[in-house]
Structure formats: C-alpha cells, structure tokens
Amino acid sequence: MNKKDILELKRRMKKEACTFTRLCGCYVDADRNKVTTFGETFLNLEDEEFFKYLDIAKKVLSGTVGNNILELEFPTAEEAPGGRQQFLMGLRESALKNDELMETFYDLVIDNYSYVGNYLILIFHDAYDVMTRTSDHNKLDESEEVYEYLLCAICPVTLTKPGLGYREDENRIGPRIRDWVVGVPDTGFVFPAFSDRSSDIHALMFYTRDTKLPHTEFMESGLGCGSKLTATEKKLTFQSIVKEVIGEEEEESEAMFLNIQGNLNDMIPVTADEEAEPEPMPLTTADIAEVLADSGVPEEQAAIIGKTYEEAFADELPEAEQLVDPKLVEANGRRMEKLGLIQQVANLTQQLNETRSLPVTESEDGGDDAPAVKTYDVILRVKPEKVGQIHSQIIDGKKCLVIPMEEDEHAAVNGVNTTV
C-alpha cells in the first residue's frame, strides 16, 4: 500500500467519477443504543446529501500513509470461518443488502469501539473497474480487475453550542435551537486493502484522525487485526526513550537530543524523481547506534537506548522520517548556525591577536639569537593609495604619525566611526 494507491481511490470521489452503489448507516447514542438505521442507493441521494457523504468518505483516505492510514494484516485464524476477515468478505459480497449482516456489523462496532458520546457508523459499497496502465501511466481501454470494497467511517455526533439567533417564526432574537451535527470521521477502514492497484483480501487500510491515540481496541477486537503504532506514536516513544536515558534538564543533554534529530534527518532517503516514493528503510539497532555515536551520546547510555529501542519496536522497526520532528530539526539548524558564528568570531579574534604579536629579529639584551615577541600599541589599516602619504612629525615634543585626510574621507578607530 502506498500514497499513489490511496490517491487513485480518492480521485474518484467526485460527482462524475463516483461509483458507490450503496450507503448504510447506524446512529448510536452515548448509552450505546441504536437510535436509527438506514440504507440508501447512493447515486439516488439529493445533491446536498450526496456531497456531504462524499466528503466524509474522502476523509477516510486522507492524511499520511503510516501515520493516519495504516495497513493492518489479518492473522490466519481470522481468515477461517467465523473470523473477522471472513465476515467482512461476506458483508462485501452482500453489497450491504443483507439486513441481518448489517445488524451484526453495527453490533461488532458498538461492542468494540470505545467512545464517550454519540456517533454515526457509515459504510459504503463500491466496485471500481481498475483500468490497465502503460509504463508511462497512460490508461488503456481495458479492465485489469474489478476492485470491490467496503469503506467505513465512524463519525462523532455533537450538540451545537448554545447561542442567540434570529427566530423567524417569532420575528425576534432569541436562544438558538440546538441540534446534533455529524462531524468528520474519527476512525474508519477500507476492506480489502488496495495495494499496487490490486485487491489484497489479507489486509485492510485503517484510518485514524488522532495519530497520538488511535483506537487500538477497535483494530484488535473489532477488526481482528494486530494493532500498529502510528508514525506519531513511534516518534513520541523514541523521544521518551532517549530523554529518559540522557536526561533533558542540562544544556549538554539538550544539545545531544537536537544532534540526534539532525542526524536522523540526514538519514531520510531522497529520490531524484519527485513523484517516485522512496523505498522504506527501517532503522536497525546498528543504525541507531551509529546515530547516537555521531550525536555525542556516551557509549554506556547509547547501549541502554539501543536495547530499549529494540524491545519497543520489536514488531515493526520505524523509518528515519517517522522519528524526526521537523521543529526540532529546525531548532538544531539554528543552534548549529549559532555555534558556527561563535567559532568564526573566535578564529577572527585569534588571527587579530597573532597579527598584533609579531616576532622581532633581535632580543632585548642582544645576546640571544632567539626572536623576542613584541606587542605593538598601534596597528594601521589604510587603503593602499594612502600608504605613501603617511609620515612622522614632531608635535608638541612628541613623535606622531600624520595621515593626511581629504574633506570627503572618513576614518574608523577600533571599528568606531570617528569625525576628524
């Protein structure tokens, strides 16, 4: 499953390309009671409803693959008779026209979806005639296969906020009538998965709006799949592991943490072709050890982090991009730029000190061949054309250097503009 597969399905969700055959739904209250159920031929809906439901379906195919959209595989047991995969296969084959199967599906969601409040279960049936493509991505006028699938969206239903409004029937301003509004999907799935432009009945595409707290209970108990961490969960888990070992209060620890983010960012693969998706490159324990070493993490702490990393991500190793926080990478860039400027100032200061301390060929007592070092009190930097104009002159009994100045010429002493 990749981004192109998701976009191919999503592009069809517009009036002229949509082929949804049927839509069914169940409204559930906060006490987990079925308030109402319905079933409609999708293409017969009025335009206002048609587009609202289509927007909800699009949301289930929105977000980032690996974060909002996860590919979940069914264990072998769930593909046997009585398993979740077998049930979804039957539901698909019924094209949502079997009322008994629909009731069983609603019960499955209600019993295994943990949510406080009212929500609406929506499920769409579609049959997509997948056209053959040439190597240059042009469509051929022949069908490769028919991808028949179900798309489910679980949407919170909330009461509108109280307020004032115009009461037309009474011709006055009064309390607004509050009603229940269907929101964007909180959770959803597409079965079977659409992978490499083909149906994969051994997996489904799971959608979550909240990438920090996805409904893992629904992944496992409701759909019968093993749960997976989102990219956000992987990032937060890794950051927690690192901070627990190196600390986060001291300046040195903060610098190491930012260095780790910078070095991880450098490991994100980049492809020459912007349209091509880079091959997934999971980070092994050896990769993490290298990043920690390059970031200045002591060997003993790096070993602890490596071991914890291996245990935390035993089921699925994350990719570099999934562990990187762009804001922290940017902060590290600013920090490195600041350190570079400080180093430049130090280098320039050293060069200035070396310029002011020049060796003299004779020693003070005249008996030692080793050169002595004399520090000059006055160092001049002038334009080449002014050098020939400089001369010495006795003024008030003191030897002075005289530099003739024209009216339109300016001078700076120790870097400060001076009026002469």
Q: Which residues lie closer than 8 Å to 181 by C-beta, 6 or more apart?
A: 157, 158, 159, 160
Alpha-helical segments (H) within 73-168:
84-93, 99-112
| pTM over the 0.85 mark | no
Among 157, 207, 195, 168, smallest CA distance to 57 is for: 207
* Token code pair at residue 89: 């296969």
Determine the pLDDT at residue 356. Answer: 63
What residues does each domain of the chain span?
A: 3-228, 233-339, 380-418
28 by Cβ neighbours in 10 Å (0-12 / 13-18 / 19+) ranks as buried
Low-confidence ranges of the chain (pLDDT < 70): 133-143, 271-278, 355-377, 414-420
- Among 190, 232, 149, CA closest to 61: 190
- The whole-number pLDDT of residue 54 equals 95
pLDDT of residue 268: 86
Helix (H) or strand (E) holding 251: helix 251-266
Question: How far is residue 22's CA from residue 39's CA, in Å, rounded to a whole number?
Answer: 7
Q: What is the pLDDT of residue 202?
A: 95
Q: Within its chain, how far is the Cα of 268 from the centroid?
A: 13
Give the model's pLDDT for residue 330. Answer: 87
Token look-up 């009026």 returns 419
Q: How far apart are the first and last CA of the chain?
A: 76
The pLDDT value given to residue 368: 54
- Name the nearest CA neighbour of 60 among 122, 4, 111: 122
DSSP letter assigned to residue 98: -
